[in-house]
Amino acid sequence: MNIKPRDQSRGKVQVIDATKVGDSKGKSFGNNTKLEYKLFMSSKIDMVTKTAAEHLASSKTKKSRTEGGDEEEEEGRQRDKELKELLDTSRLIDELSNSAVAGKERLKYQEKKMMQLGLDKKKKERKPRDLFYGIQEKKQTKASKEIEQARLRGVLTNSVKRQIEEKHLVAEINDMKSGTGSGGKKRKSSSGGVNLDKGRFRNGTLFVSKAAIKKNETTNKKSAFRRS
């Protein structure tokens, strides 16, 4: 297809030869390129009158403008993101300064917001009770080693064992775990009665076990036998 300009007195006229358009494979149209054919077939008048070189030059200019616009748009998005983070931070400061949020709730809220701003999650620290039992376990381990050494030497007795435990201050924690008092006796649950050596008062009545009565009778018999 040949596109030849021909000047007329009334204006510029385009003369085309489209006899070989159907035979072409789409790569070229006679002496004209596919781009020139598209420009000629365009519905826009300014595209029809443009040459291929002018069209390529305008396309490059438009592309460079588009790339520049993309960079500006990305920069604008980045600034919007920074502005949003700044507003969130200022809002956080205002909310934390509010007296209505106090105590543990305020600390929890502050930690939550700091994590949202990118702060690493705070590791759980050992509580004082955990620390106390940890120290007691270490002391108990040392006491166990000394008790084992005394047993191997053949000098281990209840008294020696008790002294070693008191030395390492583990007797009290052992009593707490086993439910015994400082004297080594098993603690009994309180039932509202008055404890005696030989019985227990409850609701105005003294209750004495048969074993205690029998033991008391045996002790009295031995005392009487010694006196005689």
Who wins on pLDDT, 210 or 36?
A: 210
Q: What is the SS3 assignment for 111-139?
A: HHHHHHCCCCCCCCCCCHHHHHHHHHHHH
Angle between helices 128-153 and 158-167 (to 10 degrees): 140
Which of 170, 187, 204 corresponds to the end of one domain? 187
Neighbours of 57 (CB within 10 A): 12
Number of domains in the chain: 3
Closest CA to 5 of 32, 34, 42, 43: 32
Residues 153 and 111 in one domain: no
User: Under a CB-based contact definition with an 8 Å cutoff, are residues 35 and 28 in contact?
Assistant: no
pLDDT of residue 170: 57
Q: What mean pLDDT comes out for the span 38-59?
A: 61
Closest CA to 209 of 199, 223, 217: 199
Residue 223 domain-assigned (yes or no): no
Who wins on pLDDT, 33 or 28?
A: 33
Given a cut of 60, whether residue 175 has pLDDT beyond it is no
Tokens for 40, please give them. Answer: 């000629």
Residue 167 domain-assigned (yes or no): yes
pLDDT of residue 13: 66
Residues 128 and 96 in one domain: no
By percentage, how much of the chain surpasses pLDDT 90?
Answer: 0
Residue 55 domain-assigned (yes or no): no
- pLDDT band, residue 26 (cuts 50/70/90): very low
Nearest-angstrom CA–CA distance, 228 and 222: 10
Residue 58 domain-assigned (yes or no): no
Residue 213 domain-assigned (yes or no): no
Given a cut of 60, whether residue 38 has pLDDT beyond it is yes
Q: Give residue 78's domain range.
A: 72-116
Residue 131 domain-assigned (yes or no): yes
pLDDT of residue 76: 83
User: Under a CB-based contact definition with an 8 Å cutoff, are residues 160 and 143 in contact?
Assistant: no
Element (H, E) at 14: strand 11-17
For 130-158, letters b (16+ CB in 10 Å) and e give eeeeeebeebbeebeebbeebeeeeebee
Residues 129 and 105 in one domain: no
Neighbours of 170 (CB within 10 A): 20
Residues 30 and 79 in one domain: no
Residue 56 domain-assigned (yes or no): no
Who wins on pLDDT, 31 or 95?
A: 95
pLDDT of residue 27: 47
For residue range 160-170, what is the model confidence (pLDDT) as tens digits? Answer: 888 888 877 65
The pLDDT mean for the chain works out to: 66
Residues 109 and 142 in one domain: no
Which of 82, 116, 150 corresponds to the end of one domain? 116
Closest CA to 39 of 26, 24, 31, 49: 49
- pLDDT band, residue 126 (cuts 50/70/90): low
pLDDT of residue 30: 47
For residue range 141-156, what is the model confidence (pLDDT) as tens digits? Answer: 888 888 888 888 888 8
- pLDDT band, residue 191 (cuts 50/70/90): very low
